[in-house]
Amino acid sequence: MNTGTIGVLPSALFIFIFITIFLIFILKFTRFGRYIYATGSNKNSAKASGIKTKWIVTSAFVIGGILVGLASVAYIGNVQSVEPQTGNGFELSAIAAVVLGGTSLTGGKGTITKTIIGWLLISVLNNALVFLNVDSNLQLVFRGIIILVAVLLDKNFDFRTKAKRVVMKLSRV
């Protein structure tokens, strides 16, 4: 009888680890990974340098869709039931994890490793809110606040970085 485990660990964990290592390799060591970062950072510059940005964006969305499909199958296999509401709120947790992990919503900055750290933090927060018996609607509010704060901090950091560049350019004149 298949229990979906390898030893005491769920088999989905090994699939997750394999996919994570594969994607880190793709992003760090391949031309496609560099093209993704270049397109995310500045689409016009990437296009001017000869990168087929439409293909890169489409490919990124296709890969994302495939990974969401795999995650959905793994999740449904774990809970062993499906309802129309299954997965409601997951998208907000995913966005919060990505932003909390330091990925810029304007693109071009972020790593899988930091996103996993953000996911772990969001998971701890979600479990704490459930443990404290917080209403599910209020849990969504907490996730939204986390996204808002992370975006504001990202924008503030981006503004400071640009301001420093301007000051450096002016000091050279």
When divided into structural domains, the chain yields a total of 2
Distance CA 112, CA 6 (A): 25
Distance CA 11, CA 5 (A): 5
Which two tokens mark 136?
A: 């599910």
Chosen domain end from 46, 63, 87: 87
Given a contact cutoff of 8 angstroms between Cβ atoms, the answer to whether 118 and 102 are in contact is yes
- Rounded CA Rg of the chain: 19
The model carries a pTM of 0.74
Distance CA 44, CA 51 (A): 10
Q: Which domain holds residue 153?
A: 89-173
Residues 128, 65 within the same domain = no
- Looking at residue 102, what is its pLDDT? 83
Give the model confidence (pLDDT) of 119-171 as tens digits. Answer: 998 899 889 999 999 998 898 888 888 888 877 877 766 656 666 666 666 66
